[in-house]
Structure 1
């Protein structure tokens, strides 16, 4: 919860990847709050009792959302889907604006990789940015499993990551009312 708040303010892309990981950790612990306390909450050494209770409530709220929204096995809760919607909206506004050629260039550099990912089976109905996040999350999971990642995949992820980093910067500016798209 504390990490998610910090990430949401500083880097929306990292926030989303973190939240997807939290969803998977909840699934891995079979939606069992006792397991979540033992494996996730208790290992935090510097939390006060009140902070532990607050973190447990946060996890319980996420469990409830996942249950209510039918994403117990796969998928993402609406609060995380909303981030994709907001980012997609900003992404499209940036592409339409003549003031952001650097962003457009980063997008067109990433586009062949996005097209390739979608051709390899990514959900063609999901926004392109979600395809990007899915790919980054997949590579993150491979790294956590200490699996080898091809040079080609690393190159693609670097280009996609660069695009999302730029978008995350513009997201903060937009949220602060500092982004002039016209």
Structure 2
């Protein structure tokens, strides 16, 4: 678990954020009950007992952090929110100075606008948050066996392209031209 999280964080920051969302929801599905998480999640990992204990301790740490930050019932960890904020700042910066990113964003923009309209006045967060929610929403639909429309697939594909490029720039931002 820990290595999965660390490798996602090092390779694709958007994937890492979505992974955190998934783990938060998994912990919530067990109401933070560590005994059940050990029994129904950790025990099924095809690894030795030492690694299972490390995985369990990672879940315990994440659950404790959720409890401390008062997001055990809803919301996201401070780390995830901070990373979304950083990606949002990078997003606005790239829109002004990177033609490839701007063109990729333009493809996603109609879907972002539609997501805002579909929210019917509810706060949907930043454009980056909308993209993350769209991709995570598709993941949840697939996990739950729900039907996904062609339009949903198109929007998630556009969101994924934005997030992929944004993640790339996040990891190489020291080398981004500062026009």
TM-score band (shorter)? over 0.9
**2:170 maps to which residue?**
171
**2:82 maps to which residue?**
82
Deviation at 1:48, TM superposition (A): 4.6
Q: Is the 8 A contact 1:93 1:181 kept in 2?
A: no
Q: Is the 8 A contact 2:124 2:130 kept in 1?
A: no
**Pairing 1:94–2:64 present:** no
CA shift digits 1:34-83 (9 cap, x unpaired): 1111222121122451x333222221121112112121221101011111
* TM-score under structure 1 length normalisation: 0.91
**2:107 maps to which residue?**
109
Q: How far, CA to CA, are the matches of 2:33 and 2:103 in structure 1?
A: 46
**1:136 maps to which residue?**
135
Q: Is the 8 A contact 1:20 1:76 kept in 2?
A: yes
Q: How far, CA to CA, are the matches of 1:13 and 1:47 in structure 2?
A: 30
**2:9 maps to which residue?**
8
Q: How far, CA to CA, are the matches of 2:46 and 2:29 in structure 1?
A: 22
**1:40 maps to which residue?**
41
Q: Which structure carries more helix by proportion? A: 2
Aligned residues between the structures: 177
Q: Secondary structure at the match of 1:157?
A: helix
Where does the alignment leave 5 or more consecutive residues of structure 1 unmatched? none
Q: After TM superposition, which residue ranges in structure 1, 4 or more long, deviate above 6 angstroms?
A: none
Change (3 A) 1:47 1:84: farther
* TM-score under structure 2 length normalisation: 0.92
CA-based RMSD: 1.5
Where does the alignment leave 5 or more consecutive residues of structure 2 unmatched? none
Change (3 A) 1:13 1:119: same
Q: Is the 8 A contact 1:94 1:181 kept in 2?
A: no
